[in-house]
């Protein structure tokens, strides 16, 4: 992340019409820099350390235009970025010229979504799980037993087992661990907590 941030800053700062005013290392530093410096555009990686993408985005987007960076090999991260609806979304692997063009367009209020990332998001498919199944899987992902989940949600153990069984079926998983993996890879669990 540090190397990506430094390289990104250097590339953008090299442009005659773009000035990098801050190089924040995490979500807290980003929020502080945006509030103090009022940049026209913030370039945010979907995996920026700190808070989740939705919190990061909404705090910054109220102050300036946002370009989010995501990895084409991470469909869940792409869907997470698209879910917050940034003005710009571009691949981390994009050539520098495409990134600088994106920043310029977003600075003028134009939307730029990398077509390769949009295709990646479409290929993932929609979330087939109900909100309760997501809630149960999310708790299970943290290592809770069926009895613990039942106690936390004030449900019977049988009801929790039914939700887990349904989640396994809906995701096409082999077992609960596989269902958690599939839901995590598609960023269904992270979006259910926002």
Q: Are residues 113 and 136 in the same domain?
A: no
Q: What is the DSSP letter of 140?
A: H
Q: What is the pLDDT of residues 161-176, one digit of tens each?
A: 999 999 999 988 999 9
Q: What is the pLDDT of residues 39-73, one digit of tens each?
A: 999 999 888 777 555 566 777 888 899 999 988 87
Strand ranges inside the chain, DSSP E: 41-45, 65-70, 88-91, 112-113
pTM of the model: 0.66
Q: What is the DSSP letter of 46?
A: T
- pLDDT (tens place) for every residue of the chain, 194 residues total: 678 788 889 999 999 999 999 998 888 888 889 999 999 999 998 887 775 555 667 778 888 999 999 888 777 778 778 777 889 999 998 999 999 999 999 999 999 999 888 877 776 667 889 999 999 999 999 999 999 999 999 999 999 999 999 999 998 899 999 999 988 887 787 654 44
Q: Are residues 14 and 104 in the same domain?
A: yes
Residue ending a domain, among 66, 101, 121, is 121
Cα–Cα distance measured from residue 60 to residue 94, given in angstroms and rounded to the nearest whole number: 23
Assigned domain for 176 exists: yes
Q: Domain range spanning residue 172?
A: 131-192
Q: Are residues 114 and 136 in the same domain?
A: no
Cα–Cα distance measured from residue 35 to residue 31, given in angstroms and rounded to the nearest whole number: 6
Residues 103, 39 contacting (CB under 8 angstroms)? no
Residue ending a domain, among 79, 98, 121, is 121
Residue ending a domain, among 121, 150, 176, is 121
Number of domains present in the structure of the chain:
2
């Amino acid at each position: 992340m540090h190397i990506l941030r430094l390289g990104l800053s250097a590339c953008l700062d090299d442009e005659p019409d773009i000035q990098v005013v801050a190089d924040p290392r995490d979500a807290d530093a980003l929020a502080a820099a945006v509030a103090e410096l009022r940049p026209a555009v913030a370039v945010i990686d979907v995996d920026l350390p700190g808070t989740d993408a939705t919190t990061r985005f909404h705090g910054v987007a109220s102050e300036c235009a946002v370009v989010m960076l995501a990895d084409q090999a991470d469909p869940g991260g792409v869907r997470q970025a698209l879910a917050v609806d940034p003005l710009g979304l571009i691949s981390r692997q994009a050539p520098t010229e495409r990134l600088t063009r994106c920043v310029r367009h977003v600075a003028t209020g134009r939307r730029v979504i990398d077509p390769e990332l949009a295709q990646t998001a479409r290929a993932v498919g929609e979330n087939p799980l109900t909100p309760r199944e997501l809630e149960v899987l999310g708790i299970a992902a943290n290592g809770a037993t069926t009895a613990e989940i039942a106690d936390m949600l004030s449900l019977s153990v049988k009801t929790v087992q039914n939700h887990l069984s349904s989640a396994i079926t809906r995701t096409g998983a082999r077992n609960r661990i596989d269902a958690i993996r599939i839901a995590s890879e598609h960023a269904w669990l992270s979006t259910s907590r926002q």
